[in-house]
Amino acid sequence: MLMSNSDPSPTPPHEPPSSGDRPPGLNGPGGGKRGEQKPSSNLFWFLMIFGAIALIVFSVFNQNRSGEELAFSEFVMELERRDANDKGEMVGRFHKNNVFELVIGTDYIKFQDKPKVKNKPDNPATKFFQVPFVKPSEGDLKRLTEALEAQKIVYGYAGPPSEWQAVLIFLLPIVFLLFLFLLLFRRVGGAGSAMSFGRSRARLYAQEEIDSSFQQVAGIDEAVEELREVVEFLRNPGKYQALGGRIPRGVLLVGPPGTGKTLLAKAVAGEAGVPFYSLSGSDFVEMFVGVGAARVRDMFQQAATRSPAIIFIDELDALGKVRGSGMPGGHDEREQTLNALLVEMDGFSTEQSVIVMGATNRPETLDPALLRPGRFDRHVLVDRPDIKGREAILKVHAGKIKMDDSVDLGRLAKITPGFVGADLANLVNEAALLAARGDKKRVTMEEFEEGVERVIAGLEKQTRIIHEEEKLRVAYHECGHALVACVLPNTDPVHKISIIPRGYGALGYTMHRPNDEKQLVMQSELENQICCLLGGIIAEEIVYQETSTGAQNDLQRATDIARRMVTDFGMSRKMGRVFYGEKNVGPTFLGPQAFRNETVHSAETIREIETEVKRIVDEAAVTVRDVLGARRELLDHLASELVEVEVMDSDHLKQILDEHTTGPQIKPGTFVAPSVVDETEPEPEFGTGTDDGPGEASGA
């Protein structure tokens, strides 16, 4: 694959995006509702009644301050002038024939202007008035009472305000707000607790909320069988206890991202028929010291009251990392939480009917005390599915879409090596979206193949403008990859060549598909892989006598293979059958670059390793130069044809090779015995395979 130089460090397009462990559309362990609680109507009615009572009390106690205000002198003048106003309104406030009921307080006068005839539309509405004054003199009061008596207005004197009334007016709003605050705080923190920091955040799922079962899990049969036995423990524990057996305390699910660890936990919950608590490892971490440990104890206490039960902790590595990494003399909050979990799982007061399930893709970071028998007794590997497993997973997801009869799921499983369940689910969804975009009634094989390329190499960029000279250079580059792969033995067959830009700066790519899945890789295969990766840059060198920046990822991958041959696999005569790589404490499912430790080698050893790596790459370059130099005319035909069609499949490639090649053909993928090594040296032991991801896309 040729990369644009606008991206100095592109992501290798052959690596699938990490999609996590959760299939799309599933929000919780039950695959649906997250244990939602219905809002209580009692609280609503209680607040309504309390508010109504408070409103009545306020209206009674505060009625002496309501109404329109009048000045005292103005009010008395109005009363004294009332006789002179034979008819009509007085200042628009009260009428001549209105009946007044007036109350004189210590610092106010309150009265009501009420029409004599009620329920008449032509009569003015009732109005309330108050006249504030400050300690009127005896003359003012005498003048007021004389005016009231002259107008035959009923009046009286209000007594002094009650002290209890003043206290209630002051305290009642405060009490109401405090009560409302405490009530809401208790509902958030859980019943019976005013502080919720120490409460477990685990969600309890009822059996009817969990619709997952083992029938919905495909491609990981070994893991399913292990967990079926755990379900049988919960259903019929007496069968095992009668023989002296002990129910496992914990089950740890480990594997790469997207393989279905969380889906397995949901299936166990659905099959076991017991209460299922689900939470994440990060739910224990808080800014307050001691909160995590309190939540662990509360979680096990809740599960013990409903035993037998299952506690599922997703992303366990957020909680169970190796202790001792904190500052000297300090105490890490995470370590305190982990200590509480260790005690609850296998301490003096353990509850045998509570099983803990954990899921992680970083088991190498977990504390050894957490992994020992008695805590996590069983470690279930949820690995990438093989070809049969991928076909079974595709059948599960393809059953949800309208698929054409021409779709061959077996072929799809064959061209998707390294895909996990999440990748396959994404592939089926992409195919359905492409079919909908093309207004098709059913999803065909064409959409599935395009979906595979989208997952591996990214989206096509039809609008990117590439000059004809650059387009021809990209064609030579990709044809160099393909031609070397077709000529050399022990290489994966070429599936497709394209010079349509895709993804993050990829100007073209060559896609390889292995015929069979291998667990071991021979030295000759690794050497030919390096040759295939160098085919693009050597083709540019032969045609243009100079190279471009597009081969960056090719060189990086070729160098990585050569370095592992020297340091990890003992495939160097000079360095011998010695392991110079980095020590691994356990399986790393996030890739070999996830956790790099500093190597402890002398400068001379490192220099010799680099020399051997360069020798292997240089020898591969010589082989590639011989292969392409002897087939320059065939390379030109391939490049010119690729410029015309832009995309060339394996059948088209084979047709051109047959038309322009004389002599016997060497089929790629055939096994050739490795070269004979010196009998005085021991044979190398191959205890590992390569993980090339979902197919290879040669190039940068």
The separation between the first and the last C-alpha atoms of the chain, rounded to the nearest angstrom, is 5
- Examine the residue annotation and report whether 478 is marked as an active-site residue of this protein: yes
Question: What is the pTM assigned to this prediction?
Answer: 0.63
Instruction: Give the contacts of 653 (CB within 8 A, at least 6 positions apart).
Output: 482, 486, 494, 497, 638
pLDDT for 306 equals 80
pLDDT for 665 equals 54
pLDDT for 111 equals 66
Quote the CA–CA distance of 355 and 249 in Å, as a whole number: 5
pLDDT for 58 equals 62
Q: Of 391, 447, 478, 612, which residue is the catalytic one?
A: 478
The average confidence (pLDDT) of the chain is 74
Quote the CA–CA distance of 83 and 346 in Å, as a whole number: 98
Q: How much helix, strand and coil, in percent to the nearest 5, is found in the chain?
A: 45, 10, 45
Choice among 94-103, 243-252, 334-343, 455-464 with the minimum mean pLDDT: 94-103
Query: Residue 253: which pLDDT band, with cuts at 50, 70 and 90?
Result: very high
pLDDT for 265 equals 85
**Pairing mode of beta strands 354-360, 309-314:** parallel
Q: Is residue 84 pLDDT above 70, yes or no? A: no
Structure tokens at 183: 């009530």
The pLDDT tens digits of the residues spanning 356-391 come to: 889 998 888 888 888 888 888 889 898 889 888 999
Query: What integer is the mean pLDDT of 213-240?
Result: 84
pLDDT for 166 equals 67
pLDDT for 569 equals 92
Domains and CATH numbers, the chain: 68-157 (3.30.720.210), 214-381 (3.40.50.300), 387-457 (1.10.8.60), 468-581+601-660 (1.20.58.760)
Place of tokens 């993050």: 504
Amino acid at 331: H
Q: Is residue 98 pLDDT above 80, yes or no? A: no
Query: What integer is the mean pLDDT of 105-131?
Result: 56
* DSSP letters for 382-437: -----HHHHHHHHHHHHTTS-B-TT--HHHHHHT-TT--HHHHHHHHHHHHHHHHH
Choice among 90-94, 99-103, 304-308 with the minimum mean pLDDT: 90-94
Query: What integer is the mean pLDDT of 251-278?
Result: 86
Q: Is residue 658 pLDDT above 90, yes or no? A: no
Q: Is residue 309 pLDDT above 90, yes or no? A: no
Instruction: Give the contacts of 461 (CB within 8 A, at least 6 positions apart).
Output: 500, 501, 502
